[in-house]
Amino acid sequence: MRDEIALVTGGARRIGRVIALRLGQAGYAVAVHYGQSRDEAEVVVAEIKAAGGQAAAIQADLAAPHAAVELTARTVAALGPITLLVNSASLFEPDALATMTGGGWDEQMAVNLRTPVFLAQQMAEHLPQDRNGAVINILDQRVRKLTPDFFSYTLSKAGLATATRTMAQALAPRIRVNAVAPGPTLRSKRQSVDDFARQGSAALLGHGPSAEEIADAVLFLAQARSITGQILAVDGGQHLIWRTPDTEVSE
């Protein structure tokens, strides 16, 4: 590949880790971003390098006002201009309209919406004129199946879904912007094993996706030269679940 350099936010853990490793296997030099998980990030970097790839662990607090500028500068210094940005890092904390706080709202909006958008801005600014690039935002199937649960998180991801389309318009033709919307992929810190199993089995296909399937979807969109502004749901059909009490009523 011609000096393809990927920045994966949240690349040290969970889905981001699998995405970073998959991109390394595909020949990308990978900037593995981490917030506090330095040891895990270094392990990912070591795995990519052991397989013959190039990688660097890069720290940034995505809630900080200048996170996008600082993270981009560190990535460019370590590996070169970013040609693939994967906004994988997310803050996923429960709240409700009645109980949410300004601090919680601000932090989730910063990590899940503001910094991803400004990272795309910075990527475009640093991309050489003779190069094309791609941005892939990791969303959530709930942007297509809204509920009032996880209120701030849902609104931040819905905003990023809209930004996926508007950035695709703004950054064309040199930069394509797409998104992947996962369903239940890995158990959250609040879920029991049984709860996670029930959540996956309730999806239309009877199971949620694996992290490897999410990574494969990212790689597909990264290389699909004629696709932009699209959201690919990889969720076992969770967003299509339609059996609710009202559908059981005779009409």
- Residues of the chain with pLDDT > 90: what percent? 79
Tokens 């318009």 map to which residue? 169
Q: What does each C-alpha distance from 54 to 92, 231, 232 come to in angstroms? A: 30, 29, 28
- Residue pLDDT, tens place only, 69-78: 999 999 999 9
Exactly one of 31, 118, 153, 160 is catalytic; which is it? 153
- Residue pLDDT, tens place only, 142-172: 898 888 989 999 999 999 999 999 999 999 9
Nearest CA-CA partner of 126 in 175, 62, 169, 176: 175
153 flagged as catalytic: yes
Show the domains of the chain with their CATH numbers: 5-236 (3.40.50.720)
The per-residue pLDDT for 250 is 65
| pLDDT grade for 197, boundaries at 50, 70 and 90 | confident
| 39 pLDDT above the threshold of 60 | yes
- Residue pLDDT, tens place only, 40-67: 999 999 999 999 999 999 999 999 999 9
DSSP per-residue string spanning 92-131 = -----TTT--HHHHHHHHIIIIIHHHHHHHHHHHHS-TT-
Q: Does the pTM of the predicted model rise above 0.85?
A: yes
Mean pLDDT computed over every residue of the chain: 94
